[in-house]
Amino acid sequence: MRQVAGKSKADRYQVYVDGKWVDGASQKTFPVYDPSTEEVIAEVPDCDAKDVDRAVTAASAAFETGGWPQTTAQERGRILFRLAEKVRQNAAMLAELESRNCGKPIVEAEFDIADVATCFEYYGGLATKVMGHVNPVPDNALSLSLREPMGVAGQIIPWNYPLLMAAWKLAPALAAGCTCVLKPAEQTPLTALQLANWFEEVGLSHGVVNVITGFGESAGAPLVRHPKVNKIAFTGSAAVGKEIQKAAAETLKRVSLELGGKSPNIFFADADFEAAIDGALFGVFINQGEVCSAGSRILVEKKIYKRFLDGMTEKAKKIKLGPPLERETKMGPLVSKEQYERVRSYQELGKKEAKLAAGGGRAAKFKNGYYVEPTIFYDVENSARIAREEIFGPVAAVIPFENEADAIRIANDTPYGLAAAVWSRDIFKALRAVKAIRAGIVWVNHMQPTYVEAPWGGYKQSGFGRELGPWGIEEYLETKQVHINLNEQPIGWY
């Protein structure tokens, strides 16, 4: 990213549009913070509709006349491999920048960055495996279906896995032959800008990928409305997902939405007890609970309820909170003041709605930074707001259940359907649960492992469309029917 000497200590960034580093049209910038110190670490352009139009015009030209869709799949694959290599070579720097900007523990950021490289590699390989079909039509004809790139993709991503979400969006789009305008979350734009530094060097020509920074209303919404954008891929809140679907209807864009969840993590009495306790904590507290698939509803069979709750509570109290860049840290601060206040308000609400076993407030030992305690509420009614609304922070709602049918009923009693997990040593019971749960992802005796090879996305109000695996590239492909008449005679109708 080209940095211009700023007035303050903070780095001043530009945005990447049409292969050039430029200021925003309005020249305005906004601050980006380190959530562990609350200090400003960067200033980035506050892009508006004008910048969006510039970026989309560039992406559209790259698609229509710039030759990107005509590059061979092999060439696009090689570009993605080179980008993966750049990420691997610079992994330490990227992980540090990510950790500093969004507050996640450095060790987790290192895993994320490795996954970023793997995602580019996976789609680099998949680029050459996109195939059409011969359709068996009952005539003397050759009927084909061809797969073609959808066009310009507008990609709007959140702040919890900043560069990984960028990779999940960019990699399949580029493999398919689409061009992109990426808008990172306003809280965490730095690693995506860093990535753009390498676009030209790896062989992405001007306009193929544009990265603009800005807020949802002023930069995200114009991207969704722009007539030259053919597809919107969004990860974020259900509220914004609904707005996007409405706005995209004006120009009938393809839309894929990966929204939040209130995912059940179900523990039967016959589960391996120690593994279960660990799985319950990992499911809801990893990444400070800022995870769309967080196992935020912990359903526990009554037979083990008390012992399970005590075990969880004891371990939760020992989770090491600390500055994100320290390697022993297991939980850093929340991403922003806004998110901190949101989570704090749910902690207070929980105290009215249920009983408190652990945490419940700000982590007092930190003077600055958006630190909250890992929090466990128990005896939570599934109708309580803390059991129904996505909190997106380290707040668990523990809910007792009677038996298998009860567990499934509670698990499915939610407007969401992103993920779920079930813990049991009884394979029949576990598999019955797998089939009965209405969610896009179900883990058995684990929670959260995510692989680029496997589909990711939700049922119900957790959105639609699937990312990752071969499903991910489908979201960027059109299907064209081609009919080739093999009769040399006229149709002979008139």
* Shorter beta-carbon distance to ligand NAI: residue 77 or 214: 214
Strand partners, 235: 258
Cα separation values, 455 from 267, 289, 465, 468, Å: 24, 22, 10, 5
34: left (phi over 0), alpha (psi -120 to 50) or beta: beta
Q: Angle at the Cα of 353 (from 352 to 357), degrees rounded to 5?
A: 85
Q: How far is the CB of 290 from ligand NAI (least distance, A)?
A: 7
Quote the least distance from Cβ 46 to ligand NAI, whole Å: 12
CA angle 283, 445, 467 (to 5 degrees): 65
For the chain, the maximum distance between any two Cα atoms, rounded to a whole number of angstroms, is: 88
Closest to ligand NAI by CB, 13 vs 423, is 13
CB 412 within 8 A of CB 392: no
Element (H, E) at 41: strand 39-45
CA distances in angstroms from 201 to 59, 182, 195, 285, 383, listed in the order given: 18, 19, 11, 39, 53
For residue 328, what are the CA distances in angstroms to 38, 171, 291, 322, 490?
21, 32, 21, 8, 77
Kindly name the residue from 119, 292, 390, 467 that is annotated as catalytic: 292
Cβ 391 to ligand NAI shortest distance, Å: 7
d(CA 25, CA 351): 47
Handedness of CA 386, 312, 440, 431 (dihedral sign): negative
- Residue 31: strand, helix, or coil: strand
Catalytic-residue membership of 373? no
Separation between Cα atoms, residue 451 and residue 291, nearest integer Å: 15
Q: Which of residues 66 and 236 has its CB atom nearest to ligand NAI in the complex?
A: 236
Q: Which of 118/339 has CB closer to ligand NAI? A: 339
Rounded to the nearest whole angstrom, what is the least distance from the CB of residue 302 to ligand NAI in the complex?
30
Instruction: Give the nearest distance from C-beta 234 to ligand NAI in angstroms.
Output: 7
Q: What is the C-alpha separation between 14 and 459, in angstroms, rounded?
A: 38
> Closer to ligand NAI at the Cβ: 207 or 241?
241
Tell me if residue 404 is catalytic: no
Q: Is 108 helix (H, G, I), strand (E, B) or coil?
A: helix
Of 160 and 448, CB closest to ligand NAI = 160
- ∠ CA 295-452-233 to the nearest 5 degrees? 80
Neighbours of 177 (CB within 10 A): 24
Our CB check for ligand NAI shows the closer of 86 and 226 to be: 226
Question: Closest distance between ligand NAI and the C-beta of residue 190, in Å?
Answer: 14
Which residues share a beta bridge with 300? 267, 400
Least separation, in Å, of the C-beta of 443 and ligand NAI?
Answer: 17
List residues binding ligand NAI (CB under 6 A).
156-160, 183, 185-186, 215-217, 220-221, 224, 235-237, 240, 243-244, 258-260, 292, 339, 342, 390, 392
The CA–CA distances, whole Å, from 151 to 58, 174, 240, 360, 370 equal 12, 10, 23, 48, 40
The CB-of-226 to ligand NAI minimum distance in angstroms stands at 11
Q: What is the DSSP letter of 476?
A: T
Q: With CA atoms as reference, report the closest residue to 468 among 1, 121, 50.
A: 121
Q: Which is nearer to ligand NAI, 149 or 261 (CB)?
A: 261
Nearer to ligand NAI, 119 or 130 (CB): 119
Give me the count of residues in the chain.
494
Q: Among the options 186, 258, 290, 467, which is catalytic? A: 258
Active site residues: 258, 292
